[in-house]
Amino acid sequence: MYSLNSEIKDIDGIIRIKIDIPFDVKFVCIYIFDVNGQKFMIDSGFNMLAWKKRFLQALEEINLNLKEIDYCLVTHEHLDHSGLVKYFKRINPNMQIMMHEITDESLHFGSDEDYAEIMEQNALKVAEEVISYGMNKSQIMRLLKGFLVWPKIVRYSKPDRILNDDDELHFKSTTLKIIQTPGHSLGHICVFDTQKKYLFSGDHILSRITPHVGIYHISTLINEKRAPPNILESYLKSLDKILQLNPKLIFPAHQDIIENPHERIIQIQKHHHSRFNEIRKTINTKPLTPFEISKIHFGSDLDDINTYLALNEVLSHLIYLEQQGKVKRIEKHGKTLFCSDCREPLN
C-alpha cells in the first residue's frame, strides 16, 4: 500500500487537510469549516483505500467524525475531488451533497454501465479528431484505454442539491456564494464567503501552475449541448468573475494558499496572453498541425498523458485565436493545420 503524507492546518478557522495523491499535482486539500455550528466541507477526496484511511485518521486528529459533517460541496467531477462522495453519503446519509448539474451529469454518465458504449464512441470521436491534429495513432489509442477505465473508478451519489451560478447558501452570519467557473471542467464551481472574502477555488486558480483547460470532456460529451465552442474564452471570463469579487485569500485544492489573489489572477491571464503571441509567431510563416506546435513549445519527450495535455493546451489557444479571426484552419491530406498568415501558398 502507498504511504501517503498528510498535514492538517488551521487557517483562521478553516481546517485544511492536505493528503498526497499519486498524480503530478502531488496532493489534494479538503477544507472544513464551521457555518453557525454546522460543518461545511469542500470536495470529497480521492477514491483510494490508503487515501480514505489517511483522511479518516486526519478527521480523528481534529476530533471530527464523518457523521458530524453536514455539507459536502464537490467543486468538479475529477477523481481527486469527487472520489469519496458515495462513501460519505453511505456513512452519513444526512450529509447534504452539493454540486453543479454538469458535474452531476458527468459523474452519473461516467459511472453508469448503460452509457459505457456512448462513452466509448465519444472517446473514439475524440481520438479521430486528435489524430487529425497530428497526434500519433498508437499514442492516442493507449490513452483511450486509460480514459475508458474512468467508469470503473467513478463513484456516483445523487446530489441532494444542485447548485447554479450566483446561488447563495445563507447561514446565520455567513453567506456562501456559488460562482460557476467553466474552464478546467465544464461544471466547475468556486465558493465565495462574502463576509470574509475567502474563495475556495477548487482547480480554477492554483498558486504555481496554470490549471489545465481541456477541450475534451468525454463524460460530459454525452450531453452534446454541453460542449462549449471556446473553452479558453470561458476560462478567461471565469477568471474575470473572480477578479471582480476581489477575494482576500484563495484556498485552492492543490498547492499553496494564495495570499495575493489579484496578482495571481493577473499572472495567469498574462500567461495565456503570452502563449497566444508565441503560438501566433510559431505559425506565422508556416502552417503547422497543433501537435507540431505543441512539440515546439513543450518538447517531444513527454509521456503519453502530458503529450495529450500539451496538445490540448495548444488547441484551446488555437480555437480561441481562430474565433477572433487571428489564425486560420487549413485541411490538408486528412490533417488539420493552423497558420497566422495564410497568404503564403501551401505546397
Give the footprint of Zn ion on this chain (CB under 5 A). Answer: 80, 203
- Does residue 2 sit in helix, strand or coil? coil
- Residue number with CB closer to Zn ion (203 or 292): 203
- Residue number with CB closer to Zn ion (193 or 203): 203
| Shortest reach from residue 79's CB to Zn ion, in Å | 8
| Shortest reach from residue 253's CB to Zn ion, in Å | 5
- Residue number with CB closer to Zn ion (131 or 154): 154
Residue least distant from Zn ion (Cβ): 203
- Residue number with CB closer to Zn ion (20 or 80): 80
| Shortest reach from residue 48's CB to Zn ion, in Å | 14
| Shortest reach from residue 183's CB to Zn ion, in Å | 13
Calculate the dihedral angle through the C-alpha atoms of 256, 261, 267, 270, rounding to the nearest 10 degrees.
Answer: 140
What percent of the residues of the chain are helix, what percent strand, and what percent coil, each to the nearest 5?
A: 40, 20, 35
| Shortest reach from residue 52's CB to Zn ion, in Å | 17
CA-nearest of 100, 135, 106, 101 to 122 is 106
- Residue number with CB closer to Zn ion (79 or 319): 79
Task: For residue 25, give Cα distances in angstroms to 20, 116, 118, 212.
Answer: 9, 28, 30, 11
- Residue number with CB closer to Zn ion (175 or 207): 207
Beta bridge partners of 304: none
| Shortest reach from residue 308's CB to Zn ion, in Å | 17
